[in-house]
Amino acid sequence: MTIAQIMEKMIAFSDGNTGDIDHFVRVWAYARMIGELEGLDSQTQYILEIAAITHDIACPLCREKYGNVNGKYQEAEGAVMVRDFLSDSGLSGSQIDRVSYLVGHHHTLTDISGIDYQILVEADYIANASENHYSKGNCENFVQRIAKTRAGKRIISQVFGL
């Protein structure tokens, strides 16, 4: 499937929840931009964009099942759900494994392995920080301690006026 086709499928999956849809579209846009600015190869860029689109796939289930979208439950449930979601996408087994890993770790900020993982975390942070009005100090801390890509640091600094 193309990125657009996967986005359309994720919109259908989101069942009219405009908050969820707006969030993943924004995370995807930032991830795509940072990935391109960092010069990712096309395969890594493709996986990154699919992970950005699907990273919060477990949010509706977690709200219903646990009453919250706590990071650890969401990661564990999402890692499984995304495999089913992508089963008709034409992705290879190893591509699905990587997307599942990324969805399953997107709230884990220790031992970030791989540029796709790093950029997903940066893009999700930008979307969450603006949605939830994080303080300047929080953004500065993220740029100093968690953000690693040059493009990601630049964009976070520009978006939040650091």
- 56 or 75: whose CB is closer to Fe ion? 56
User: To 10 degrees, the CA torsion angle through 7, 149, 113, 136?
Assistant: -80
Six-digit token string for 94? 């190893």
Tokens of 136: 């300047």
Tell me which stretch binds Fe ion (CB under 5 A): 4-12, 34-42, 87-95, 124-132.
Answer: 124-132
Site for Fe ion (CB under 5 A): how many residues? 2
Minimum gap (Å) between residue 110 Cβ and Fe ion:
18
CA 100 to chain centre: 11
Report how far residue 130's alpha carbon sits from residue 44's, in angstroms, rounded to the nearest whole number.
26
What is d(CA 132, CA 112) in angstroms, rounded to the nearest whole number? 23
42-71 mask for Fe ion (x: CB under 5 A)?
Answer: --------------x---------------
Which member of 49, 75, 116, 124 binds Fe ion (CB under 5 A)? 124
Residues forming the site for Fe ion (CB under 5 A): 56, 124
